[in-house]
Amino acid sequence: MVETQPNLNAIPNVLAIAGSDSGGGAGIQADLKAFSALGAYGASVITALTAQNTRGVTAIHTPDAAFVSAQLDAVFDDIRIDAVKIGMLANAQIVRAVADALRRHRPAHVVLDTVMISKSNHALLAPDAVAALRDELLPLATLVTPNLPEAAALLNEPGAADEDAMVRQGEALLALGARAVLMKGGHLASADSPDWLVEAGGALRLGGARVPLPNTHGTGCTLSSAIAALIPQRESLASAAADAKRYLTGAIENSARLHVGRGVGPVHHFFRWW
């Protein structure tokens, strides 16, 4: 295992464990763009290949779990990893392979984005893998970032309809072993889009305007990746989450500058530069 020493002045090395989006808007592609935009070096472990564009997912190919393990060991055996972001894992075998690797290599920070359904309503996690994700990975996570349907699936209960319910469900996920939960409020029927960061010491509301633009492909991937990139560069998880949310808001606000596809377009990861 490569030792990880916190250094707020160093360029962090951040590992994305996720699926590939051939359209470039979500998954590994979004992760690496967000890392780069926020001053981190990105490494990657591919858990699935998707045939995907802005209009939907047409096919998924998953590698053998042993090959996922080989990728993980190759990265950790050579590169100091300061934070890990986990996205699409596809099936229970890959979930367990990732959990085993995290237990072997013990990275300092793990951001778990509980990817289950694509924007086009295509299943990205097998039903039998939900329990494995909850039981194997949740207790290893520094932060879990579910949207409201994903939190409901993990808890086997109806989705939160208001902010009080969001906080209660975040606390329930803490009880399952996560060290912190970011409940994302994008699915709320409200004028704004609040998130709640729930930790053992309490809950913090991260407010935010709901940007009236349709280009939201990859927003969940981008937010979790931004947090993973910023955790080694900030003094607290709350600061990393707040800055990541501001970055994502800017990426959505500037998304109309891109002209990508004829469906739900991507956000503009590099809006500060071009």
Q: Please report, for the chain, the start and end positions of each structural domain, with discontinuous segments joined by +.
A: 13-257
Please report the pLDDT score of residue 18 as a whole number.
97
User: Per the residue annotation, which of 185, 218, 222, 265 is the catalytic one?
Assistant: 218
- Known catalytic membership, residue 219: yes
**Is the pTM value of this prediction over 0.85?**
yes
Which of the residues 114, 219, 222, 249 is marked catalytic? 219
Structure confidence at residue 125 (pLDDT)? 80
What's the average model confidence in pLDDT over 237-241?
97
* 220 part of the active site: yes
What's the pLDDT band for 186 if we cut at 50, 70, 90?
Answer: confident
Active-site hit among 54, 184, 208, 265: 184
Predicted local distance difference test score (pLDDT) of residue 57: 92
Q: What is the DSSP string of the chain?
A: -------TTSPPEEEEEEEEETTSSSHHHHHHHHHHHTT-EEEEEEEEEEEEETTEEEEEE---HHHHHHHHHHHHTTS--SEEEE---BSHHHHHHHHHHHHHH--S-EEE----B-TTS-B-B-HHHHHHIIIIIGGG-SEE--BHHHHHHHHTSPPP-SHHHHHHHHHHHHHTT-SEEEEE-TTSSSSB--EEEEETTEEEEE--B----S--BTHHHHHHHHHHHHGGGSSSHHHHHHHHHHHHHHHHHTGGG----SSSPBP-TTTTT-
Q: Using 50, 70 and 90 to split pLDDT, how confident is the model at 122? A: low
Annotation says 221 is catalytic: yes
Q: pLDDT (tens digit, 9 = 90+) per residue, 155-177?
A: 999 988 999 999 999 999 999 99
Active-site choice (23, 27, 208, 220):
220
Residue 230 or 192, more confident: 230
Q: What is the pLDDT of residues 244-265, one digit of tens each?
A: 999 999 999 999 999 999 999 9
pLDDT score of 1:
39
Instruction: Provide the percentage of residues in the chain whose pLDDT is more than 90.
Output: 80
Active site residue 184: yes
CATH homologous superfamily, domain 13-257:
Ribokinase (3.40.1190.20)
